[in-house]
């Protein structure tokens, strides 16, 4: 962004004119214009009237791939990216913005299994969501409070446990955009952005999910045409109540995006007749107690989650190996 204009109010009418003509007449913005508009939104340089118009217009129209890419470009400039710790694995990023309403939320189990294997795991999301059990609430029951800073997150990586960073601390400007849902009553593009955020300076593995079929097509197109390959790889799957953890009863399809190439890692399976052993209740206390038992071996880890862990570790190690090789091309690959 031009530093001469970064503090000036943005007249958004020309953007609203394009995106605000309804589902039949709206046109999408270029990546550069989407970046410019969203950066101004994050900085508070758009009036409340124009901001509301933009949010509702995008809600009706839906994001194009170029718009999503521009929004994400601006989003990742709006906060300080984290340094990745040294080690054999690239960071694994797990967004957690849905929690669970019916099934036990096993996102903390996935994160803990990955961290126990040696991978640095960053979980980011919301602390509370009325009517849902959040990952943060289960981590609290497990004695893992949120990391209050980037330094605290590094300490968690060093201890071999996941670091949970609330979006309010990780990316405050994005958190403010999320909070507007309480005013407007509907989700905005930011709810999609936070689920594909890559908050590290170095390449990382992002676990991403979708809930509606149209987002499968849009996110797949983003990762194969617009995502910067140097930012790392991504896994995409249908969410388990919106979370990026494999369903305990059946494996969802998981697709791997590497250097804009798409590979199916896990094929979708039909539900099994018998539900595997799971927490007796979906509340945070019961789920945390069961996760402890799964970690010490007295409860079996659901097979789809165990397989998800294996795929994450394999690709995370590959990303890290490539990074080392690119930095030291004369060193033999391990």
DSSP state of 100: B
State CA 27 to chain mean position distance: 27
Superfamily of domain 13-77: Transferase, Pyrimidine Nucleoside Phosphorylase; Chain C (1.20.970.10)
Q: Which residues pair with 78 in a beta bridge?
A: none
3-state secondary structure 217-255: HHHHHHHHHCCCHHHEEEEEEECECCECCCCCCCCCCEE
Distance from C-alpha of 313 to C-alpha of 115, rounded to nearest angstrom: 10
Pairing of strands 232-238, 204-210: parallel
pLDDT (tens place) for every residue of the chain, 334 residues total: 454 456 789 999 999 999 999 878 899 999 999 999 999 999 999 999 999 999 999 999 999 999 999 999 999 999 999 999 999 999 999 999 999 999 999 999 999 999 999 999 999 999 999 999 999 999 999 999 999 999 999 999 999 999 999 999 999 999 999 999 989 898 899 999 999 999 999 999 999 999 888 899 999 999 999 999 999 999 999 999 999 999 988 888 999 999 999 999 998 877 666 777 899 999 999 999 999 999 999 999 999 999 999 999 999 999 999 998 777 776 555 4
SS3 for 94?
A: strand
Give residue-wise pLDDT tens across range 81-131.
999 999 999 999 999 999 999 999 999 999 999 999 999 999 999 999 999
Distance from C-alpha of 110 to C-alpha of 121, rounded to nearest angstrom: 10
Q: Which residues contact 262 (CB under 8 A, 6 or more apart)?
A: 220, 223, 224, 255, 256
User: In the prediction, which pLDDT does 6 show?
Assistant: 64
- Report domain 92-327's class: alpha beta
Distance from C-alpha of 334 to C-alpha of 332, rounded to nearest angstrom: 6
Domain range annotation of the chain = 13-77, 92-327
Give residue-wise pLDDT tens across range 250-291.
888 999 999 999 999 998 877 666 777 899 999 999 999 999
Distance from C-alpha of 322 to C-alpha of 129, rounded to nearest angstrom: 38
User: In the prediction, which pLDDT does 251 show?
Assistant: 83
Residue 63 sits at the vertex; the CA angle it makes with 100 and 260, to the nearest 5 degrees, is: 85
Distance from C-alpha of 188 to C-alpha of 52, rounded to nearest angstrom: 10
Cα atoms in the 13 Å half-sphere on the side-chain side of 106 = 31
Distance from C-alpha of 52 to C-alpha of 44, rounded to nearest angstrom: 12
């Amino acid at each position: 962004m031009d530093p001469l204009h970064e503090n000036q109010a943005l007249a958004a009418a020309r953007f609203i004119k394009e995106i605000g003509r309804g589902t039949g007449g709206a046109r999408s913005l270029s990546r550069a214009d989407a970046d410019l508009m969203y950066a101004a939104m994050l900085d508070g340089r758009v009036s409340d009237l124009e901001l509301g118009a933009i949010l509702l217009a995008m809600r009706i129209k839906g994001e194009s791939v170029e718009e999503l890419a521009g929004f994400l470009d601006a989003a990742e400039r709006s906060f300080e990216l984290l340094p990745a710790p040294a080690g054999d694995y690239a960071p694994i990023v797990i967004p957690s913005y849905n929690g669970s309403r019916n099934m036990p939320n096993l996102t903390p189990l996935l994160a803990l299994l990955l961290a126990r294997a040696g991978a640095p795991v960053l979980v980011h999301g919301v602390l509370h969501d009325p009517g849902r059990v959040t990952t943060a609430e289960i981590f609290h029951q497990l004695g893992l409070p949120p990391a209050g800073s980037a330094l605290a997150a590094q300490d968690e990586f060093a201890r071999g446990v996941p670091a949970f960073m609330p979006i309010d601390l990780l990316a405050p400007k994005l958190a403010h955009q999320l909070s507007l849902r309480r005013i407007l009553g509907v989700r905005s593009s930011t709810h999609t952005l936070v689920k594909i955020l890559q908050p590290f300076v170095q390449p990382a593995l992002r676990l991403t999910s979708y809930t509606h079929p149209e987002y499968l097509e849009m996110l797949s197109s983003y990762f194969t045409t617009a995502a910067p390959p140097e930012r790392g790889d991504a896994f995409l799957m249908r969410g388990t109540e919106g979370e990026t953890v494999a369903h305990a009863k059946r494996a969802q399809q998981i697709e791997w995006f590497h250097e804009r190439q798409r590979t199916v890692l896990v094929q979708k399976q039909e539900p099994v007749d018998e539900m595997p052993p799971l927490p007796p209740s979906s509340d945070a206390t019961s789920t945390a107690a069961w996760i402890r038992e799964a970690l010490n071996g007295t409860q079996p880890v659901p097979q789809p989650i165990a397989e998800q862990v294996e795929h994450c570790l394999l690709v995370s190690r590959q990303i890290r190996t490539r990074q080392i090789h690119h930095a030291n091309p004369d060193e033999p690959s391990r």
